[in-house]
A = this chain, B = another copy of it.
Amino acid sequence: MTQKHNQRQRQQIVIVGAGFGGFQAAQSMANADADVLLIDRNNYSTFVPLLYQVATAQLEPSLVAYPIRTKLRGMRNIQFLQSQVELVDFDKQLVKTTAGPFAYDYLVLATGTQSSYHSIPGAPEYTFPLKTLTDAIALRNHILRCFEKASRMTDPHEQQRLLTFLIVGGGATGVEVAGALAELMRGALQRDFIDLAGEGRLVLIQSGSGLLQEFSQRLGNYTHRHLEAMGIKVCLNTRIAQVEATRVILADGEAIATATVIWAAGLEATRPDLAPSLPPSPKRKLLVRDTLQLVDYANVYAIGDVAAFAQDHQSLSGVAPEALQQGVFVARNLRRQLRNQPLQSFAYWNKGRLAIIGGYGGVGRILGINFGGILAWALWLAVHVVYLPGYRSRLLVLLTWLQNYVLGDRASRQILPAIAQLNIDKELSALSVRSNPDDYL
């Protein structure tokens, strides 16, 4: 890697982030006349749409985490670096990482989004986000621990609190987590904890007047009825005022005692530190031209959720196909720019939209046709297993779903042990903190 990066005659392209957009952009730059460095903090690319299934004990974490180097094996002009980006210096054309600085001629920012808490007190400290594999495993461990703890609880109020799960947000993520959690609780956990049967309580809190507002009102109503039929209490037009360690306080003053608040209520761009800094923008997104270049820098592109791209005066909605198409497109524009050819404008080709509810329910809009029910549910699963990278993961996910839905069981119910940090940058003496005591309740 170092050798290649010293050969300054070849143009250097740095891509920050190996999510849907960045990983696709790197792949699409294979055999281009430039050296590409793909940087991510993890050595895997996370298949975010299935994270909720990891969080609800349905899938093993590794099935939705694709090792980045696998796909890049044949691509000799593409290098991977596992590191954290600390600063992007536009003037010096440097990306500063925890592994040192890297110079670029062209830069692609694909750093995605993170939870946004709308300044609600306590939300950052006391709610569970669901954006990374870490989040999903932590949430799964927590849900299973709540049941383990509740099973030996004599105080009925405390038991009820441990078995009350609040989901904040009535968009696709909130709905799918609520449904999957209901399936988990009335399936595997009901059989694991017979003394607690029927004690679990699920509440979905939505600030707006309907669920899945990116779909039609009819489908939103269908989703509402379907979730309620699964035993979930749906609260529309309801806002959170504050989150505390042991309860949530709603805007109308009502308090709900709970040990678990899942945050699916808002996102903002994950913007790395930039020098010079860019002006504030809605949801902290980076303003881009039609070509996906930054408004301010012609040699810097932004793609995926970090980019503020609007089509037909509407922002993109933040789904994977948008990032994937932008990843393919940015590679084409980069190749044009390398050859000093004129750049083209990006246009998103919307194939439709699907959302899964659980309990054999889903909704969809394809070619302008709205539909809900088991067809949308099955189509959602089919589309996501097809897009999941890696034949092994696809096969194992299919087998797991077969078991889940035929037997009504969940296999991945292990509370994974805590793995203490080993930071080999800070000398190996850090090893002494490696083997912390196994976790216990």
Residues of A whose CB lies within 8 Å of any CB of B are: 1-2, 41-44, 60-63, 65, 67, 69-70, 73, 81-84, 98-100, 125-126, 128-129, 132-135, 137-138, 141-142, 144-146, 148-149, 151-152, 154, 162, 191-193, 195, 245-246, 259, 390, 392-393, 395-396, 399-400, 403, 411-425, 427-429, 431-432, 434-435, 438-441
Chain B, Cβ-Cβ closest to A161:
B428
Chain B, Cβ-Cβ closest to A1:
B152
Known: A138-B420, A428-B259, A435-B135. A413 touches B43 (CB 8 A): yes
Query: Across the interface, do B418 and A125 meet the contact criterion of CB distance under 8 Å?
Result: no
Contact residues in B for A419 (Cβ distance below 8 Å): 134, 137-138, 141, 416, 418-419
Contact residues in B for A427 (Cβ distance below 8 Å): 245-246
With A and B bound together, what is the CA distance between A441 and B98 in angstroms? 7
7 CB-based A-B contacts, threshold 8 Å: A43-B413, A44-B414, A61-B416, A67-B414, A138-B420, A146-B424, A396-B399
Question: In the complex, how many angstroms separate the beta carbon of A149 from the nearest chain B beta carbon?
Answer: 6
Query: Across the interface, do A424 and B137 meet the contact criterion of CB distance under 8 Å?
Result: no
With A and B bound together, what is the CA distance between A18 and B151 in angstroms? 18
With A and B bound together, what is the CA distance between A278 and B43 in angstroms? 49
Q: List 15 additional A-B contacts (Cβ < 8 Å) besides A61-B414, A126-B428.
A: A2-B152, A43-B148, A43-B415, A62-B411, A62-B416, A69-B193, A133-B416, A134-B435, A135-B435, A138-B420, A138-B422, A142-B424, A146-B424, A162-B424, A395-B399
Contact residues in B for A415 (Cβ distance below 8 Å): 42-44, 82
Known: A126-B432, A192-B70. A83 touches B440 (CB 8 A): yes
With A and B bound together, what is the CA distance between A428 and B146 in angstroms? 11
Contact residues in B for A149 (Cβ distance below 8 Å): 424-425
Contact residues in B for A60 (Cβ distance below 8 Å): 60, 62-63
